[in-house]
């Protein structure tokens, strides 16, 4: 048994898409009346999941919770967090289905984004290569050709300076973007949580997505805890102790800290910009757990719909914007070559 556990510690993480299929199959078996152990044993029939299911069964026999075992296997944070809170309200099948739906929507948006951005990115890199050859080979030849024509040389020199500026601007922008992404990936786990939140809150597009995502997770999880009869105070405590989604846990700890000072819930949300402002109004108007649970669930569904709609609109705007910028840049390069040639022809 010990050898089996050591071997499973080094299991490669399942791709996210494969994780959703695994969780969906598990949910279907539980819905048919299987227990967790029976469902996992049945999933061992799939050879690609045999090691995963064996590891989960070993960990459950040792007394570890199901969500902790999934976290060890690097399952998606949304899956782990939904299952964690399901341990308190008992609706494991619903939590599995909700987590799968959320992750599948996330994957669908990413796939849509990749499909939309693929062609513009090819154009951008092709344009960079074009600029490189123009400034390396074409413009130097033009300088030699037009060196004796003062009327056209100024136009050529202006075009060269503009093209050089555009070329290096694109290179610097791409380099800085890649560098910042690499630095963020490497350093984010070492940064204090407060600093990570401040950085996320300074980035316009990221900030919007982060707030909506955090608001959705908070609303859906607190609603499920209230449904189980857990009080608001205890629900916040459970969410603070849940460490598989550290940003959510930290934000909940800030709210909890304000509540201990005697602030009303609505005022506590006003002090922290990491949740949508609409949450403040929900807590301000509702004073019963039943109505609060209902409103939080409704608000969670509206928030995720709004987030998906906004992302779709952003993707639709991004595609033509990149195409327009590249097209205008190509037209400018073409004219910077054609106009001096026409002026040279007129002087002959």
Each residue of 10-54: pLDDT tens digit?
Answer: 566 788 888 888 888 888 888 888 888 888 888 888 888 888 888
Q: Is residue 148 part of a domain?
A: no
Q: Is residue 89 part of a domain?
A: no
Q: Is residue 161 part of a domain?
A: no
End of a domain among 28, 53, 75? 75
Q: Is residue 307 part of a domain?
A: yes
End of a domain among 75, 107, 138? 75
Q: Is residue 300 part of a domain?
A: yes
The residue range of the domain holding 293 is: 194-320
Distance CA 234, CA 217 (A): 17
Q: Please identify which residue in the block is written with the tokens 């070993």.
A: 58
Q: Is residue 95 part of a domain?
A: no
Distance (Å) of CA 139 to CA 143, 251, 293, 331, 342:
6, 56, 68, 16, 16
Close Cβ partners of 334 (under 8 Å, ≥ 6 residues apart)? none
Q: Tell me the three state secondary structure of residue 125.
A: helix
Q: Is residue 235 part of a domain?
A: yes
**What's the structural domain count of the chain?**
2
48: which DSSP letter?
A: G
Q: Please identify which residue in the block is written with the tokens 């807590």.
A: 283
Close Cβ partners of 95 (under 8 Å, ≥ 6 residues apart)? 82, 83, 85, 86, 224
* Mean confidence (pLDDT) of the chain: 78
| Contact between residue 14 and residue 26 where contact means Cβ atoms under 8 Å apart | no
Express each pLDDT in 187-232 by its tens digit. Answer: 777 777 778 878 877 887 888 888 888 888 888 888 888 877 788 8
Which own/partner pairs from 250-255 qualify as long-range (CB within 8 Å, at least 24 positions apart)?
Answer: 250/193, 250/197, 251/197, 251/214, 251/218, 251/275, 252/218
The pTM of this model reads 0.69
End of a domain among 75, 91, 111? 75
* CATH number, domain with residue 292: 1.20.81.30
């Amino acid at each position: 048994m010990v050898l089996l556990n050591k071997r499973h510690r080094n299991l490669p993480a399942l791709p996210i898409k494969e994780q959703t299929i695994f969780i969906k199959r598990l949910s279907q078996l539980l819905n048919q009346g299987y227990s967790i152990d029976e469902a996992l044993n049945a999933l061992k029939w799939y050879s690609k999941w045999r090691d995963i299911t064996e590891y989960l069964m070993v960990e459950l026999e040792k007394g570890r919770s199901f969500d902790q075992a999934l976290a060890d296997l690097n399952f998606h944070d949304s899956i782990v967090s939904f299952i964690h809170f399901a341990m308190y309200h008992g609706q494991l099948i619903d939590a599995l289905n909700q987590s799968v739906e959320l992750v599948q929507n996330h994957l669908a948006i990413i796939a849509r984004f990749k499909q939309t951005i693929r062609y513009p990115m090819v154009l951008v890199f092709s344009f960079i290569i074009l600029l490189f050859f123009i400034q390396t080979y074409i413009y130097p030849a033009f300088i030699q050709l037009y060196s004796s024509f003062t009327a056209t040389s100024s136009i050529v020199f202006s075009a060269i300076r503009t093209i050089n500026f555009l070329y290096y601007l694109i290179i610097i922008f791409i380099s800085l973007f890649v560098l910042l992404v690499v630095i963020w990936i490497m350093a984010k786990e070492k940064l204090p949580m407060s600093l990570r939140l401040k950085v996320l809150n300074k980035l316009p597009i990221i900030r919007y997505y982060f707030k909506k995502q955090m608001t959705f997770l908070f609303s859906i999880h607190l609603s499920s805890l209230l449904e189980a009869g857990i009080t608001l105070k205890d629900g916040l405590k459970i969410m603070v102790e849940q460490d598989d989604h550290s940003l959510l846990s930290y934000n909940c700890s800030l709210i909890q800290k304000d509540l201990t000072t005697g602030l009303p819930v609505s005022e506590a949300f006003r002090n922290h910009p990491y949740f949508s402002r609409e949450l403040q109004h929900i807590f301000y108007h509702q004073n019963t757990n039943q109505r609060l649970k209902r409103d939080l669930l409704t608000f969670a569904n509206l928030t995720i719909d709004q987030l998906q709609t906004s992302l779709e609109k952003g993707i639709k705007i991004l595609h033509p914007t990149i195409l327009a910028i590249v097209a205008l840049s190509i037209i400018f390069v073409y004219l910077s070559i054609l106009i001096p040639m026409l002026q040279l022809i007129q002087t002959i």
